[in-house]
Each structure stands twice: as C-alpha cells, then as structure tokens.
A and B are shown apart, each in its own frame.
Chain A
Amino acid sequence: MGVNGKRGQVTLFIIIGIIIVVMGVLIFLFYPQIKSSISSNVQTPESFIQNCLEEEISNNVKIISLQGGSLGPQGYYLYENYKISYLCYTNEDLKKCVVQKAPLKMYIEDEIKNSIEKNVEQCFSSLKESYEKSGYDVTIKKGDYKVELLPKRVVTTLNYSVTLAKQDTVKYENFNVIVNNNVYELMTIANSIVEWERNYGDSETTLYMALYKDLKVEKKKQSEGSTIYIITDRNNENKFQFAVRSIALPVGY
C-alpha cells in the first residue's frame, strides 16, 4: 500500500472515531438513565419494596375477596370449603338482616393492612441488608402505613424514610406499592346487593350483569336461609364472595 493509501486509512479511522464519540455524547444527552444505571446495579428502594410486597398483598387480597372481606372469618357460612363471612345477618326467620361490616371498604383495607404487618418489617430489613452489601450506609425511619382500595388497584402507602449514603446521600420517602386488582369495583357491587337484601330479603342479579357487561353475579340460596353471592369479573376471573341471611322463610308454619 502506498503512502496515499495509508493516509486514507488513517483518515477513515479518525472519521469513525469521531462518529463514535459523537454518538456516545448524543446517547448520554438523551438518556440520562443509562448514565445512572451504569453507576449502580441495584434496584431502587421503591422497586425493591414494590417487588417485595406485591405478591403477598396480591395473594391476601384474593383470599380476603373469597372470604367475604375477612382473612380469618368468625361469623361465616361454609360453602365449597370456603369460610364466607356474612356481610348482613340475622339468626331469626322473616326478619331483616343487620349489616355486619360498615363501611365495607374500611374493613377490607384494615384486613389487608393487618395481613402484611410482618411482611413490611421483613421487606425493609431485607432492603437494608441488600444495600449494606453494596456498600451503602442505610438509615430507615419507620412510620405508619395504610392500604387503600381504589378503582382497579390496591395502593399501600408506607410512610417510611430510607436514607442511602455512599458517595452521595439520597433520601427516599413515602413508598407506594400498587397491586392491580379490581376488588374496589366488586366490593361496590357487593354493597349494593347487601342494601337490597337488607331491605327486601333478595336481589335481582341480572340487573347488575345488564349494566356491567364483564360481570357475572351468582346467587346461591342455601337450605337454612343463607344466600351466597359470587361476583366474578369475566376478564380476569377475580371473585368477591360473601354471605347474607335476611328475611329467611321458615320450614312449615
């Protein structure tokens, strides 16, 4: 190769080098997350807590939904191996029932909250351990937490504060764990049915299915006067089951 050929090669390599540098600068300009992710290979505290608590909350919500809003039902009807708690109950015949849980939303939120108490402690302990292994100084300030049923999701807000110190100090506050579940919607329908049962001793299930196309509402009257309701979302098969005993008809006179 002659002198001119070698010069051409060098020029080409220089040009390629300039292009690579420019591309790198452009990437860093438009995607700052890439820069931060390179400097740290642990997940953020928010995502850690989300991953740690999400499954437990989701499982507990499912169990609570199948048992009439209770994790450990006391007053319940045993139906197909489920202890389904009564939302409205009377032990007498021909009498209107008495609502047992009001507001139902608050009862369910408290049940979920109580069900994850130990898990919250464990998750923050695990978080501390994980970051300390990566060389961080971790300070956790415990606070209260609450569970809220919202449309299409269950949101757990934890007023904990986590401070991570390494080269910089970063403080994380108010963790939110979001679980996609439409127990809020199903519970709203349950409340409406309980209102009908309380006033009339019965409800018309087809009305709800006509208004809400994705809903299946089943009513199963039992021999001793109780009625089991099963509300199912056809899209995701989420269920809310509960029992009622209202204006029960006696056998004989």
Chain B
Amino acid sequence: MKRKNYLFIGAIGLFILLISFVSSANTYCCERTTDGYGGFSCVNVDDKSKCSTSFDSVLNRQYQAALGTSCESTSFCKVGTCVDPFAGTCEESTKSACKGDWKDTTADEITQCQKGCCLVGEESKFVTQTACKKLGSTTGMEATFKSEIKSETQCIQMANPNEEGACVIQTGYERDCRILTREGCANISVSSGTTTESSGFFSSLFGTNKVTQLTEENAVEFYAGYLCSANSLNTSCGPSRKTTCVSGEDDVYFVDTCGNLANIYDSSKLNDNTYWTKMMEPSCGDSSGNKGSSSCGNCDYNFGSTCKSYQRTQDEVAPVAGENLCRDLSCTYTDPATKVRKTYEHGESWCVSSSLTSDKYSPGSRDYRLVCMNNEILVEPCDDFRNEICIEEPVSNAGVQYSYAGCRMNLWRDCVAQTTKDSCEQSDVRDCKWIAGERIGTRTEADSELGTCVPLYSPGFDWWNEGTQAEEICSVASQMKTSDFTSRLGEELVQVVGGRVDYEAENNEKYCYNFDFLTTNDVRKEYAGCDNGITSNSKKEIENGIAYGINNKGWSTLLTIASALGDCGAKLNSAGSAGYENYSSVKVNYLISGPKKNETKTMKVVIKNLTK
C-alpha cells in the first residue's frame, strides 16, 4: 500500500513517455498544411492527409511532407532568413513561408541585413542601409545611414532636426514667414522657378498650394534660431494667445498669428518680446512633467504628462492661454474585490486576480497584469489555468515607489517529486510549499520529515476535455488518504458515497457529520450527528452499516494537500460557489460493517468548512 502511490506516479510517467514515442512515429511534418487545416507552414501533424501537395510557384515544386520526424530536422523546414531586396528587410523564416530571397543563414551573417540608424529629414529609423536609401528616395530627402548606432533606443534619440529658423519670403510688399530648416528654406527658389509655397493677396483667394512665380525683386532669407514673430524681422506674423500640440512631441507650443510654432507655452511670457523673438528652452515648471499645469506647457512623457486638449471632465484646471495643457497620464483603479481605489502613475503595472474569494488560486481564477499607459488601463491576462502567475515588485525611482508587475511561469510540475522541505521550498527553481503531517509517495521509517511538497500556486485543469489529466493528478491525493488512514488508524477502509462532514477550525475538536448514502437496495439514507473528536475506537452506527469517523486534523491536512494539487478537493470556485451539490467534495474511504458486512459502496464525502 505504501508503495502504491510511487508506482502509480511512475506508471503515469511511463505511459506519457510511451504515448509520445508512439506519437512521434506517426508524426508528419507538413511543409504546408491543406487549406482546410489552416494552410500553416512547417507544422507537425498526426495524419498525412493534412499535408498539402499543391504546387508552389515561388518554390517551383510541390510541398513536401516527412514521416516520423519533427519539422526542425527537415531540410524544407529549416529556418533561415527571408530577405526583401527592394525594401531592405530581413526576417527569420522557413523557405516555404518566404516570398523574398531566402538565405540559409541567420540575419547576423548577412551584410545587407545589418541595421543602423537612418536619419531622414527630422526623423530617425532603425533600419538596414537599403531601407534607408529607399526612405530617402521616397521622401525626396537626404538620408544618412549611421552603421555605428546599434540600438533602436539610441537611434530614436538621434532624431535631431536640422537647424531651424524663420524663413522670410518677401513677395512685393508682403513679408511672409514660415518656420523651416535651412535646407527647406533654400529650396524656395529666388529666381524664376516655382515654389510649392506662396503668399499674398491671390493666395488668400485661391489657396496656398498654387504655383507662384517669384521674380528677381522677391527675396527669401533664412534667420537661424529666430521665430517668425520677432519684431526685427518685420513679418506679418506676431505673438498670439493660441497654443497647439505637435504630433510626436510632448510639449504645448505657442503659435503665432501666422500659424507657425513658437516656443513652449509659458503663460508668464505671453507678452515677453524676448520670448517671441528667438527659439529658446523653456524655463517654467517643476521639471517633472508639469502635470495639469495651467501656466506651463513643458510636459514630459517619461514623467507621465503630454500635451492634450483641455477637457473639463478630465482636467482640474484650464490653461491660462490657449486650449492645451500637460495632461496627467496617471490612472485611477478600484479593486473589485477590496473596493479600494488607488492611483497609478503612467507606466506602472500591477497584479489582479479574477477570484472574488480570498483564495486567489481557486478553480476558474486567472491572474491579470494591469498597466497604466497614457491615462488608460490596459489589461493583459497571464496564461490560463494558472500556468502563469502575476508577480508584483516595487521599484524605487528618486525616492518614489512605483509598482512593476509581470506574468511568469508557474513552476509547479515537479513539486510532488520533492521529498524534503529544503528541496521543496527552493524558490529559485520551483513554486512549491511543504505541508507537514501527511505524505504522498514513498515513506520510509527513517524519514524524520513527514510531509508533502505541493504547488504553492494551485494550477488549473481542463477537466471538461477528453484526455484531461485532472482525474489522474487529483486521484494521487485519494490514493494517499487510503494508505495513510490504514496505517494510522488501523482500520480498513472502503469507498462510500453521499456523505458530508462539516467541521470547524482545525484546532477545534468539534465536528459535525452528515452522510447520505445508498444501501445495496439503492435506498438513500441519511446519517448525521456531531462529535467532540473522533478516536480510533469510536464508531458511528449507520443503518445497515457502521461508519468510522476520522480525526479532523487529518481531514484538514489532507484537504489542504488535495486542494493544492490543482482544481481538486473541497474548495469554492473563483466566484465563491461550492462544487457538487452546493458543497465541494472529495472521495473518502470508510468501512461499513453489519448485516452487509464487507460490502463496499462508493461514497462521495462532501465537506463544508464552517469557518468560511
């Protein structure tokens, strides 16, 4: 009996091994599955009819299939690099999935796949050299490729606009002005060429995209670092109270009367001529994003603010000038279980369980990672069946605590195999806990530790699916209980059905019981009562049989072990509802003796914890 559990676990393992061995023998690697099976590339299937034999015009042959081998070891499903020579992109793929030029090597070893930083106009992109040239040709701007920049983050920070300033265009007596780069301003020809930009009386009637012929009397001048509203430039543009947000930028900007961007919004500088003359860095604000500030538009996305239009329902104060301000990107969240309301900063993440009970790992529950991003809470579910759990860590930054969470794998699968407390609770390699007092598996007389290693975060099972392992895993606990009760109480046990044991807290000896069971005549009988503790000698008589009660401390421990193995044992689900017949249940073995001596009946003992 003692060895039964060990043999049983070993048998399961061997069975699984045999199944996988047999499966691989009947496995086909399809270069492409049929359309009816999704048309997938390089997938292992159990039936050759799922493999497509169609002709592929790119490969110039029929699709292939291989028996008894996984796709990784076939030549036609070998992973290489798919190169698009025109776009300059390189992606890892198999030959059959590649519409471009397939190379039997990794991207690192292909020169044309090496990425660098491409500076095009005011933007930067982390792409290959070919892609960079393409960007230049399609935008009509000069593209510079910097191969020494090896990270995308660094490349984005390289985005550095060319020197900007006021481009003043004199047409007749009109002095129009636009904020342009030196190059952009130089492109506006002074001689008898044409321009896409025009100004003056006729433009205001017919629009600004008409052809304008500039004569030799007209002039284009560039003033580096100057704003169009500078008095000295004597343009038709001047200061205004208007502000705007700029795509790709965090800050709130002043806009002059011609619609050109000026400096960052600072209400104290509305009438400051110096601030409207030259481009300058902002001096206002709290250097941490100026969230919700009515007077300063020096926002910072990394600190949780960005330029947005003022909304009375969202922003506490209106801007002093204009319609835009630095919106606070934090989020407010109310925990559905505790009803506690908390504010999270932009970028913070935290964990939430779908369980409405105190047991976070109850049947049906799932962990979620919530992220506050741009005033919005994004919900990312961790893997289902509690294959992943959410963990949360506080991170300190400049004395402020931020929450950071992530989903990670639940390492429960080798818990039951651990026989000592130390190996069980090695938290760097597994997620297990030690329950003292009962043991699954082999136990020797020399064992000083009597206990079982079980999952710390109880996993879930797909018990409704054919082929589920739920029954096998949960029955390990049932096996254990039979052998242990036999050895400890000296009583023989058989299976019975239809009972309920109500028991109170572990330290309280009082418990109540209620058995509904079927006799050999299939008549349902009820037997109920309460006791102040059961010893091995006490017996409870049932009509046509005798039931032996068990020590309720043992019950509690066994219940804990069974529950921890997974969606097993007597527990409430994540919604707080009990299982079978409004109670959670577990199989229990009892002896029934009397006129029907030694006759076995199957009894499902239903347990309700009165303290919960």
Contacts and interface: CB of A to CB of B under 8 A. Distances in A.
| Chain B contact residues, majority secondary structure | mixed
A75 B39 contact: yes
Contacts of A210: 302, 347
Contacts of B470: 252
Contact of A221 (B42, B384, B460): B384
Contacts of B87: 103, 105-106
B35 to A, nearest CB: 5
B169 to A, nearest CB: 16
Contacts of A46: none
A104 B380 contact: no
A198 B373 contact: no
A174 interface: no
B192 interface: no
A31 B210 contact: yes
Contacts of B77: 98
A134 interface: no
Contacts, number: 155
B91 A104 contact: yes
A35 interface: no
Contacts of A99: 41, 82, 91-94, 97
A206 interface: yes
B211 A33 contact: yes
B469 A253 contact: yes
Contacts of A110: 99
Contacts of B469: 251-253
Interface stretch (A1-9, A53-61, A85-93, A124-132): A85-93
B290 interface: no
B244 interface: no
Contacts of B211: 31-33
A220 B407 CA distance: 12
Contacts of B383: 221, 225, 249
| Chain A contact residues, majority secondary structure | mixed
A41 interface: no
A65 to B, nearest CB: 18
Interface residues of B, number: 73
A33 B209 CA distance: 12
B365 to A, nearest CB: 13
Contact of B92 (A106, A198, A211): A198
Interface residues of A, number: 50
Contact of A223 (B93, B248, B385): B385
Contacts of B378: 205, 216, 218
Contacts of A214: 247-248
A206 B373 contact: yes
B579 interface: no
A92 B43 CA distance: 8
Nearest to A185: B125
Interface in A81-140: 86, 89-92, 98-107, 110
B94 A106 contact: no
Contact of B38 (A76, A98, A220, A249): A76
Interface in B131-155: 135, 138-139, 152-153
Contact of A74 (B39, B97, B462): B39
Given A105-B87, A151-B135, A195-B92, 9 more contacts: A30-B212, A30-B213, A74-B39, A91-B40, A98-B40, A98-B71, A222-B384, A223-B384, A225-B383
18 contacts: A31-B206, A98-B42, A99-B82, A99-B92, A99-B93, A103-B83, A103-B100, A151-B138, A205-B380, A206-B347, A206-B373, A209-B374, A211-B156, A216-B373, A218-B378, A221-B381, A252-B473, A253-B469
